[in-house]
């Protein structure tokens, strides 16, 4: 039987190995959005060898969770114990079982989908706190792993717990989506050899979510794969959207409303704009929704240059969600080859151009490295100015990516995705000069301005290309 390899998680594997090698009790918290590969990482690293493993079940009552608990305990002990009455009794039974194991041997306990175990008025979390503080933390060779897809719950109730679990975790792992480099390595491991241009296009649909990439088939083209996953009848990712949000939030309709509202404006919205358009009152409810979505990495803050908080925008950062609202929601099942048929569609090209900006913001490390400023302290932000109503010729200006560097330089970045080298014409050159002039006038900066183009295949040399001070191309974004 072929051994399953863990790709793209070298740092996490190293940290888990450190926890396994120490004799002191370890409380390991594993966070990350749904489908990111948390359970796969833990199952594969420990090779399925758990002394006890319990997985929470979505929207099931305490009684069901406790029956699952005792079923696992009975499998491990080969007994026929009756279900516990509550979580206090359950953890007492777990304590007795772990105490019976040889003291010098490693004891691995895995509580997966922990937020689903903490049902309303179940008493789960307080019982677990007592179990760990009174027993687990003092048990040598114990490695207890807590895992959950509800990232905001894991952060608030575990990682940032101010009660009995305050600063109790010995290791916290936040699994991030794969980068382009990691996706390319993942595909090569599965004998899929695509061009980087095609990989980038698929990344703008699937993001760096490993689970989605496992569905890619070697015998199909990239566009045919997308058709299979999204547009054929009852496609595998047709209903993923509802599953994605309903399993993370109890009031999922409001979360989906926020995501749908934000997805209409790719540049993002300020909090006040979001409240006005969505109809959700600008109060603590909206605060909680936004905090949860940011924690789950479905939404990102887009800081405004100069740290003007009221101009900070919220942007959808989940590729799947953006693709769903733009193409899938009203199209799925109507044309089973929709994505292949739309290859030269202007709507598809426009969407790719806008989504490439998101891809670049997810690869800022690679952009800085390509610019030779990887070791320079810098802040990334956006900037815009609204049109002056008294100036008919003033259409405002917007810069989607600014890199404000400590070495007294600001990179003003233009991002263009195209199938060939990008050509700057007179109109585009004039527009760029207007943007730079508007930025300098509004901010009165004395820093050196460098104009940077981030493109697929570079900028075509002509009489306007000299205005470009530095370039980043698609290959640069695949750097490790």
Give helix then strand counts, H and E, for the chain.
Answer: 21, 13
Q: Establish if 384 belongs to a structural domain.
A: yes
pTM: 0.92
pLDDT score, position 161: 74
Find tokens 């594997």 and name the residue: 13
Beta bridge partners of 26: 143
Ranges of beta strands (E only) in 223-346 are 269-270, 299-302, 313-316
pLDDT score, position 34: 87
In terms of domains, do 26 and 88 share one?
yes
Which of 142-156, 173-187, 337-351 ranks highest by mean pLDDT? 173-187
CA 452, 455, 457, 459 dihedral sign is: negative
Structure-block tokens of residue 192: 């899929």
The stretch 16-36 carries a mean pLDDT of: 94
Q: Establish if 77 belongs to a structural domain.
A: yes
pLDDT score, position 233: 84
pLDDT score, position 89: 98
Domain hosting 54: range is 10-174
Q: Establish if 1 belongs to a structural domain.
A: no
pLDDT score, position 154: 85
Give per-residue pLDDT as tens, 375-412: 999 999 999 888 876 666 667 899 989 999 999 999 99
Q: What is the mean pLDDT of the chain?
A: 92
Beta bridge partners of 385: 397
Model confidence at 474: pLDDT above 60: yes
| 132: nearest Cα among 111, 154, 152 | 111
Last residue of a domain, one of 326, 349, 379: 326
Q: Establish if 427 belongs to a structural domain.
A: yes
For residues 267 and 206, which has the higher predicted lDDT (pLDDT)? 206
For residues 311 and 188, which has the higher predicted lDDT (pLDDT)? 188
In terms of domains, do 169 and 186 share one?
no
The stretch 128-156 carries a mean pLDDT of: 91
First to last CA, the chain: 31
Last residue of a domain, one of 126, 156, 174: 174
In terms of domains, do 258 and 222 share one?
no
Give the H/E segment covering residue 30.
Answer: strand 26-31
pLDDT score, position 3: 52
In terms of domains, do 39 and 123 share one?
yes
Strands 448-455 and 470-473: parallel
pLDDT score, position 4: 60
- Distance CA(18)–CA(291), nearest Å, equals 32
Least confident among 44-58, 72-86, 328-342, 414-428: 328-342
Q: Establish if 5 belongs to a structural domain.
A: no
Res. 1 pLDDT band, cuts 50 70 90: very low
pLDDT score, position 226: 96
In terms of domains, do 138 and 21 share one?
yes
The stretch 366-381 carries a mean pLDDT of: 96
In terms of domains, do 232 and 256 share one?
no
Q: Establish if 110 belongs to a structural domain.
A: yes
pLDDT score, position 267: 83
In terms of domains, do 27 and 150 share one?
yes
Domain CATH number, residue 156: 3.40.50.300
Domains contained in the chain, number: 4
Domain CATH number, residue 320: 1.10.10.10
b/e burial code for range 213-246 (CB count within 10 A of at least 16 → b): beebeeeeebbebbbbbbbbeebebbebbeebbe
Q: Establish if 4 belongs to a structural domain.
A: no
Give per-residue pLDDT as tens, 207-265: 999 999 999 999 999 999 999 999 988 888 988 888 888 877 777 899 999 999 999 98
DSSP 398-450: EEEEEEEETTSEEEEEEEE--SS-B---HHHHHHHHHHHHHHHHHH---SEEE
Model confidence at 2: pLDDT above 50: no
In terms of domains, do 47 and 106 share one?
yes
pLDDT score, position 39: 95
For residues 461 and 168, which has the higher predicted lDDT (pLDDT)? 461
């Amino acid at each position: 039987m072929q051994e399953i390899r863990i790709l793209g998680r070298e740092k996490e594997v190293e940290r888990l190995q450190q926890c396994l090698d120490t004799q002191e009790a370890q409380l390991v918290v594993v966070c990350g959005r749904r489908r990111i590969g948390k359970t796969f990482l833990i199952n594969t690293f420990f090779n399925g060898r758990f002394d006890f493993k319990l997985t929470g079940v979505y929207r099931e009552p305490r009684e069901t969770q406790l029956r699952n608990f005792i079923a696992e305990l009975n499998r491990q002990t080969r007994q026929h114990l009756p279900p516990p009455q509550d979580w206090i009794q359950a953890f007492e039974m777990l304590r007795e079982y772990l105490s019976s194991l040889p003291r010098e041997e490693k004891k691995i306990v895995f509580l997966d989908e922990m937020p689903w175990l903490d049902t309303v008025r179940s008493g789960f979390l307080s019982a677990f706190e007592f179990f760990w503080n009174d027993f687990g933390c003092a048990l040598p060779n114990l490695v207890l792993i807590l895992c959950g897809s509800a990232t905001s719950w894991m952060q608030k109730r575990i990682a940032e717990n101010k009660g009995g679990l305050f600063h109790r975790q010995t290791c916290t792992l936040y699994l991030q989506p794969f980068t382009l480099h990691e996706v390319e390595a993942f595909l090569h491991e599965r004998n899929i050899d695509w061009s980087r241009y095609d990989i980038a296009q698929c990344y703008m649909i699937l993001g760096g979510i490993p689970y989605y990439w496992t569905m890619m088939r070697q015998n199909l083209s990239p566009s045919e794969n997308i058709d299979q996953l999204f547009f054929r009848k009852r496609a595998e990712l047709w209903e993923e959207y509802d599953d994605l949000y309903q399993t993370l939030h109890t009031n999922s309709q409001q979360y989906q409303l926020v995501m749908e509202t934000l997805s209409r404006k790719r540049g993002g919205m300020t909090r006040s704009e979001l409240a006005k358009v969505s109809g959700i009152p600008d109060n603590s409810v909206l605060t909680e929704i936004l905090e949860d979505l940011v924690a789950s990495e479905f939404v990102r803050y887009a800081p405004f240059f100069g740290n003007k908080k009221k101009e900070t925008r919220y942007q959808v950062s989940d590729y799947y969600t953006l693709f769903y609202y733009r193409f899938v929601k009203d199209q799925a099942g109507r044309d089973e080859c929709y994505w292949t048929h739309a290859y030269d569609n202007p709507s598809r090209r426009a969407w790719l151009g806008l989504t490439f900006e998101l891809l670049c913001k997810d690869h800022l490390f690679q952009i800085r490295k390509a610019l030779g400023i990887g070791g320079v302290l810098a802040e990334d932000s956006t900037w815009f100015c609204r049109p002056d109503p008294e100036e008919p010729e003033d259409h405002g200006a917007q810069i989607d990516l600014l890199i404000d560097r400590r070495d007294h330089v600001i990179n003003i970045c233009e991002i263009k995705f195209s199938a060939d080298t990008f050509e700057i014409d007179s109109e585009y050159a004039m527009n760029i000069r207007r943007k730079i002039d508007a930025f300098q006038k509004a901010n009165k900066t004395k820093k050196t301005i460098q104009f940077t183009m981030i493109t697929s295949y570079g900028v075509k040399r002509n009489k306007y290309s000299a205005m470009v001070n530095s370039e980043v191309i698609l290959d640069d974004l695949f750097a490790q």
